[in-house]
Chains A and B, each alone.
Chain A
Amino acid sequence: MFSANDIATLIVSPEHVETFSLTDWNELVFILRKEKMLARFYDILERAQLATCVPPEALRHFINARIVSRKQNELAKKEAAELSRALGNMADFVVFLKGVAYSVTDNAASLGRVYSDIDLLVPKETLVNVEQYLAVVGWKRKALEDYDEMYYRKWAHEIPPMQHGSRGTVLDIHHNLVPIISGRGIDTRAFVDEYSATHDGVSVLTESAMFFHSAIHLLFNEDMSSAFRDMTDLYLLSYSQPQEFYLDVLEITEKHGFKKECILAFHLLSIHFNIKLPLSVETSVNEELKNISICELKLLKRLTLPKHPLLADGELLFNQWLGEIRGHWMKMPLFVLTYHITIKSCRTIIQSIFGKHVFLKSDRDRL
């Protein structure tokens, strides 16, 4: 039986697979599939010339995941190019974020990356035009519960997701990196002006700004379900970088905040993946860690590793719930949080009586 740490160790030292039994492989495939890491891990094995260790029973699942990942990468590039052309005249900037940006630049974090949506950042004042234009060219709003719709519109840093009518691609259109209601929204325009670059006609963030955003997305967030995958994004973005990279990240935090999140990211990289930080950065990290509670550190350390019932440490549902509270706490002022939690828990109670799906419209036809 694996521990969560064993899985993290495999990312850095994949040679441990050489001694795996078929049962080990079977468990590993289940754990990695849940963490959306099958394709990425197979690429890691291949890079370390260990792909031949994979028994045929497990190999099929790695190859399946690779096919999906490669296709998504290819499609994401096409969608990004097309959206850049279509929206170019409408907004001063259209910057692609996260997975799609990794694919567009073919950087280290594009390795076996899978993702369910395309994230882009546009100026807030152009949102209405962008949304209307996309509706004309075939993108539709996804159906949401009414409360969630209100949440997006009023408090979030993005509008409700849109989905392409025939291709099925999902778009998340952001106007900030974090929810406005958190009071910690960045000056998007200044950030984009300084930290974006164009790649084959598609705008993306510079690598240090990608790291900055990825750290915020992971650690200033309530949903930790893909946290291990996101942690490996940070690892791939940073492991071969020179010292200046880390200093650049810290420089961004001087201007736009989120120093705590970036420091935490550095710390977690050093404990999960043995990343060697430059001495000056290590000093800053140690200094900053003194202001972070041991409980919070422990929680994050655990939630950024795999979570699966097959692991010795289990699925950690209670910890995930704590992580959710932590994320909401950071994002919302107390009065909004109280309101949000009241509404959400009322709905949870109603769901516990009438079933989990009571707020969704019926769609028996989907089967």
Chain B
Amino acid sequence: MTSSFVLDCAPFAFNVETSFSYVRDVAKCIYGNRFVESTEFEGYVDYNVSVLNTTGLRRMFKPQARFLSEGQEPFKPLDKSQGYALLEWGLNWVVATHEFSYVIVHSAVLAKGDKAVILPAPSGSGKSTLTAYLSHHGWRLLSDEMALISPATCRVTPFVRPVCLKNNAIELVKAWFPDVYLSPVAPKTHKGDIVHMQPSVYSVSASQEPAEVVGVVFPKYDPSCFLDIYQLDKAACFKGLTHNAFNHNLMGEVGVRTMLDIVEKSACFEIHYNDMNEVSAFLDEVVRGKVDV
């Protein structure tokens, strides 16, 4: 028995079919009014995906979740308890492999008003924890995972989805925001224990409003640093940005030009921090244009 629902998650709508009722329940809590029953959805569906029980007798004694998208199966199946995480990663995969209407950079995106900072960083740099914190301290979350940049502009389109928190960050975030919904823990994934945190109401309500990138900041959590700020030269920033880009090479010249433009027009920094309020204050200066570029 499977059921389907639509995640109407601008700028894309995904139709999700699942055989796990818990995946459906978690999606409903996380996406709130952007969760729509498939039968009631009247808009355009961009992608069909499914999270299904694995085939065969295995489902009886060791159920696994498989992610499928229109006949493709990009990942090996995971334990059933990781099914919701698999859905979120699957949606990232679908967008990163099919969408070329945006230059896509693996990064968090936060904004104040219509001015945004993108925070590209590899897994383990504390990016998501920082994103979770800032998105409840005056910043609008546009994305925790990918910056969707319109070609030949500095405009970033919000793609507001949950923030993926790992290991120690889970308890930390629970203590900071006891009222915010977190998905059940998906234990022992390749990233460790993970949960997905519901995006803030404010971020969702502004999810149709694009912003202009004015800063590119590479964050690194370092318990021994209060806040160290290093200004990056444009070449180093460009290198860091392309290192985190998904599709600029496939988009060719316009992809590279867009990244160059962003770097040219943005303030570029690397920060090492252990105090998130200080980071917030610094980023505030970046979006207000108070730092030298």
- Which A residues lie at the B interface, using CB under 8 A? 22, 25-26, 30, 33-34, 57-58, 60-61, 63-64, 67-68, 71, 351-357, 360, 362-367
User: Bound complex: CA of A34 vs CA of B68, how far in Å?
Assistant: 13
| Contacts of B57-97 to chain A: CB distance below 8 A | 57-58, 64, 66, 70-71, 75-78, 89
Chain B contacts of A57 at CB under 8 A?
Answer: 44, 46
- Cβ-defined contact, B71 with A34, below 8 A: yes
Checking A33, A61, A63, A352 against B57 with a beta-carbon cut-off of 8 angstroms, the contacting residue is: A352
Assembly CA distance A327 to B115 (angstroms): 59
B140 to chain A: closest CB distance in Å? 24
Size of the B side of the interface (Cβ < 8 Å), in residues, is 28
Task: Kindly report which residue of chain B lies nearest to residue A356, judged by CB atoms.
Answer: B55
Q: What are the residues of chain B within 8 A of A26 when measuring CB–CB?
A: 44-45
Q: Which residues of A contact B71 (CB under 8 A)?
A: 34
Contact sample, A vs B, 16 pairs, CB 8 Å cutoff: A25-B44, A61-B98, A63-B100, A64-B98, A64-B101, A67-B250, A71-B250, A353-B58, A355-B58, A355-B77, A356-B66, A357-B76, A363-B76, A364-B76, A364-B78, A365-B190
- For residue B45, which residues in chain A have a CB less than 8 angstroms away from its CB? 26
**B48 an interface residue at 8 Å Cβ cutoff?**
yes
Are A22 and B44 within 8 A (Cβ)? Answer: yes
What is the number of contacts between chain A and chain B, taking CB atoms within 8 Å? Answer: 66
User: Which chain B positions have C-beta within 8 A of A58?
Assistant: 44
Is there an interface contact between B250 and A353, defined as CB atoms closer than 8 Å?
no
Query: Which chain B positions have C-beta within 8 A of A356?
Result: 54-56, 66, 77
Are B251 and A67 in contact, with the CB atoms below 8 A? yes
> Residues of B with Cβ closer than 8 Å to A?
44-46, 48, 54-58, 64, 66, 70-71, 75-78, 89, 98-101, 189-191, 250-252
Contacts of B251 in A (CB 8 A): 67
Taking a contact as CB atoms under 8 Å apart, the answer to whether A353 and B57 are in contact is: yes
Partner of A353 from B48, B56, B78, B101 at Cβ < 8 Å: B56
Residue of A64, A357, A364, A367 ringed by the most chain B CB atoms within 10 A: A367
* Contact of A366 with B44 at beta-carbon distance under 8 Å, contacts A33-B70, A64-B100, A67-B251 already known: no
Give the secondary structure class of A's interface: helix
CB distance from B152 to the nearest CB of A (A): 14
| Neighbouring B residues of A61 by C-beta, 8 Å | 46, 98
Once bound together, how far apart are the Cα atoms of A58 and B190, in whole Å?
36
Q: Which residues of A contact B78 (CB under 8 A)?
A: 364
Nearest CB of B to A277, in Å = 34
A34 → B minimal CB distance (Å) = 6
Q: Which residues of A contact B58 (CB under 8 A)?
A: 353-355
Q: Chain B residues with Cβ under 8 A from A365's Cβ?
A: 190
Q: How far is the CA of A365 from the CA of B89 in the complex (A)?
A: 13
Which 10 residue pairs are nearest across A and B when measured between Cβ atoms? A57-B44, A352-B56, A355-B58, A67-B100, A364-B190, A64-B100, A353-B57, A355-B54, A356-B55, A60-B101
Look across to chain A and name the residue whose beta carbon is closest to the beta carbon of B62: A355
Q: List the B residue with the shortest CB-CB distance to A365.
A: B190
In the complex the two chains form, is B55's CB within 8 Å of A351's CB? yes
Q: List the B side residues contacting A354 at CB < 8 Å.
A: 56, 58
Q: How far is the CA of A58 from the CA of B101 in the complex (A)?
A: 12
Known: A354-B58, A360-B76. 7 other contacts (CB 8 A): A67-B250, A355-B55, A356-B66, A362-B76, A364-B76, A366-B76, A367-B89
Measured between beta carbons, the chain B residues less than 8 angstroms from A25 are 44
In whole angstroms, how far apart are the Cα atoms of A107 and B220 in the complex?
52
Once the chains are docked, how many angstroms separate the CA of A360 from the CA of B77?
12
Cα A362 to Cα B189 in complex, Å, equals 13
Q: Is B56's CB under 8 angstroms from A64's CB?
A: no
Chain A residues contacting B100 (CB-CB under 8 Å) are 63-64, 67-68
A269 to chain B, nearest CB (A): 26
Contact of B55 among A22, A33, A68, A352 (CB under 8 A): A352
What's the minimum C-beta distance from A232 to chain B, rounded to whole angstroms?
A: 19
From B86, which residue of chain A is reached at the shortest CB distance?
A367
Q: Most chain-B CB neighbours within 10 Å: which of A25, A68, A71, A355?
A: A355
B44 touches A63 (CB 8 A): no
Cβ contact of B70, chosen from A34, A64, A353, cutoff 8 A = A34
Give CA–CA (A357, B55) in the complex, Å: 10
* Set of chain A residues within 8 Å of B99, measured between Cβ atoms: 64
Residue of A nearest to B251 (CB): A67
Bound CA span A360–B70, Å: 22
Quick one: given A68-B250, A363-B76, A365-B190, are A30 and B55 in contact (CB under 8 Å)?
Answer: no
Tell me, in angstroms, the Cα distance from A357 to B78 when the chains sit together: 11
Min CB distance, A99 to chain B, in Å?
Answer: 17
In whole angstroms, how far apart are the Cα atoms of A58 and B76 in the complex?
30
Residues of B within 8 Å of A30, CB to CB, are 48, 70
Measured CB to CB, the nearest residue on chain A to B67 is A367
- Complex alpha-carbon distance, A30 and B48, angstroms: 8
User: Which of the residues B44, B55, B70, B75 comes within 8 Å of A367, measured between beta carbons?
Assistant: B75
Partner of B252, one of A33, A34, A71, A362: A71
Task: Find the B residue at minimum CB distance from A225.
Answer: B71
Contact yes or no, A355 B75, CB < 8 A? no
| Minimal Cβ-Cβ distance residue in B for A71 | B250
